[in-house]
A and B are shown apart, each in its own frame.
Chain A
Amino acid sequence: MAYSTKVIEHYENPRNVGTLDKSDANVGTGLVGAPACGDVMRLQIRVNDQGVIEDAKFKTFGCGSAIASSSLATEWIKGKTIDEAETIKNSQIVEELNLPPVKIHCSVLAEDAIKSAIADYRKKQQDRHAAK
C-alpha cells in the first residue's frame, strides 16, 4: 500500500513531538489506544487563561498514518480555543491526509486524543475551582 505524500511528509517531519509537564494545572493530557492494538497516542495541550491552546505536543506508537494523524492534530489545535479544537472531526483528518479505509481508525484515535486531552484539562480546572 502506498502512502499519500502528506502522510509521508508528516511522518518524516513530525510537528510538535514532545512532552509537556502533566502535573501542570494548565496542561491537559490525552492517552488513547492500546499497545495490544498496535497504536497509542499521547496528545498534550497547554491552555492559557483565555481558553486558547498555546502549545500542543504528541508522542505516538503506531504506523505512519497514526504518527501523521497525531502530528496534524497538534498542528491544527495550536492557537485554537478548546471549544474550537473540540469540533475537529476525524473525517477532516482523513480528507487532509488522504487516508485509505484501513487507516481510518488512526484518524478516529487522533480525534479521541484531542477530546481526551481537553477533558483532562477541564477536569483539572474543575478540581482546582472546587478546591478553592
Chain B
Amino acid sequence: MALKLPIFMDYHSTTPVDPRVLEEMIPYFTTKFGNAASRNHPFGWEAEEAVDHARERIASFIGAKDSKEIVLTSGATESDNLAIKGVAEFYKDKGNHVITTVIEHKAVLDTCKRLEKEGYEVTYLPVGQDGLVDPDAVKRAMTDRTILVSVMLANNEIGTVQPLEAIGKLTRERGVLLHTDAVQGVGKVDFDVQRMNVDLASITSHKMYGPKGVGALYVRRSKPRVRIVAQMDGGGHERGMRSGTLAVPLIVGFGKAAEIMQREGKAESVRLAALRDRLLAKLTARLDEVYVNGSVEHRLPGNLNVSFNFVEGEGLMMAIKDVAVSSGSACTSASLEPSYVLRALGVGDELAHSSIRFGLGRFTTEEEVDYVAELVASKVERLRELSPLWEMHKEGIDLKSIEWAAH
C-alpha cells in the first residue's frame, strides 16, 4: 500500500472519528432528531433512550457503578471547570484548599487560578524529572482545610501516567475528594474509578475516536456522595448539574467510541507501544543527542516526546511538514516561553525548544513509523549542519560556558 501524505502523528491533540462511531451517529442527525428532554412524544423517548444507552456505555468504560454518575458536557474543559469550581463552591464551608500539580492541563490550572482570585488557596505540587507526582507529596500537602485534590491521569505533552491508585488511597483515608483529568489516559492505560477511589473524572470524546464537542464528568454518587454546584443555569438537565439541551448525535457517538475503546483498548495499547518503541529505536540508532522527556516506563503507549539537541523544534516541524506533530518550542506563541510542562521536569529551556511530541494512534501504521523515523533523522542531520550550536558542540565547546545575550 502506498504511503499517504500528510501523516497524522498528533493523536494527543485530537483523533479522527472511527467509521463505526460515525455510522451510529448519523440517524440521530436526521430521522431520530428528538430532544431527549421531550417527555411526551416518541421523538423525545427515542432520543432519551439513545442517551441512556450511551451513558451506560460510558459508565461501564470507566468502571462507574451507576450511569447516573455520568454528567454529559461539551468536553473536558467544561468538565474540569465544573468539577473544580463546582466542588469548591459546594464545600466552601468545609474548607478552602485545593491541591493540584504544575503539569496539569490549562483547563485545570487556569480554573485553579480563578479560585485563588476568589480567596481559595491552591497548592501546585511539583513533579520529578520523570514527570511523576510523588503520592507522599500529596499526603504532606493535605490539611484540615483541603477539600479537593486534582491530579491528571496522563499528561498531554509527555504522556506520563500518574500513580492515581496510590493517591486515591491517601485522599480517601483523609476524606478529601479526588478529581482527575483522565482525558489522555482513559482507554489507553489502566483506569477504574472504583479501584482508584476517584470521585470526579473528566473525559472527552474526541481523544478516543468519537466526535468533538462532547465530554463527560463522572460524579460519584455513593461512598461518598459528591455534590457540586452547577456552573450553567437553565432547564435543570443532567440532574441539575449541567443545563442545556443534550447533543444527542454526539452523545451517541461518544457512547459508541467508549464501547469500542473498552473492547479494543488493551490490544491497541500493546500495538502502539511497540510502534512507539520502534520509532524511538530508529531515531536513536541514527542520531546522537536525543533525549526522551519524562518517564519511559510510566507513559502512554502512543506517546513519544523527545528533544533533538541543537535543533529548534519549530524549525524541524517545518522540515517535516508532511508529518503532523507538535513541539514544546514556543516559537509559535507570542510569549517565547517554551512548554511549562517540560520546564517543570527541569528540562533546560534549550532542550525544551528542541522537543517534538509524536502521538501515535489507532490508524498509525508501521510503514508510517518507518517513514517518519527516516524523514526526521535526515532532517535533524540537515538542520544540525545549519546549527551553530551543533558546530560548537562538535568542537567541544561547552555551550553553558558562553554568556548568551538573552533577548
Contacts and interface: CB of A to CB of B under 8 A. Distances in A.
Answer yes or no: do A and B interact: yes
A59 B405 contact: no
Contacts of A62: 312, 315, 331
B386 A36 contact: no
Contacts of B318: 3, 8, 11, 63-64
A8 B405 CA distance: 28
B388 A31 contact: yes
B313 to A, nearest CB: 8
Interface stretch (A38-46, A74-82, A83-91, A120-128): A38-46
A17 B406 contact: no
A114 interface: no
A40 B332 contact: no
A38 B386 contact: no
B404 A36 contact: yes
B387 A60 contact: yes
A63 B349 contact: no
Contact of A63 (B312, B350, B399, B404): B312
Given A61-B311, A109-B407, A38 B330 contact: yes
B331 A35 contact: no
Contacts of A109: 407
Given A3-B318, A35-B404, A105 B391 contact: no
A92 interface: no
**Interface residues of chain A: helix, strand, loop or mixed (majority):** mixed
A56 interface: no
Nearest to B311: A61
A66 B331 CA distance: 10
A105 B407 contact: yes
Contacts of B330: 38
B137 interface: no
Given A32-B405, A37-B336, A64-B314, A17 B388 contact: no
Nearest to B332: A1
Interface string A94-122: 00000001100100110000000000000
Contacts of B315: 11, 61-64, 66-67
A67 B407 CA distance: 17
Contacts of A14: 386
Contact of B331 (A36, A38, A59, A101): A38
Interface string B306-324: 0000111011001100000
Given A63-B312, A63-B314, A63-B315, A33 B404 contact: yes
Interface of B: 310-312, 314-315, 318-319, 329-334, 336, 338, 348-350, 353, 385-391, 399, 402, 404-407
25 contacts: A11-B318, A14-B386, A17-B385, A31-B388, A32-B407, A33-B407, A34-B406, A35-B349, A36-B349, A36-B404, A40-B388, A40-B404, A59-B386, A59-B387, A59-B391, A60-B387, A61-B310, A61-B387, A61-B388, A61-B389, A62-B331, A63-B329, A66-B315, A102-B333, A105-B407
Nearest 8 A/B pairs, CB to CB: A34-B404, A35-B350, A36-B349, A38-B353, A42-B388, A63-B314, A59-B388, A64-B318
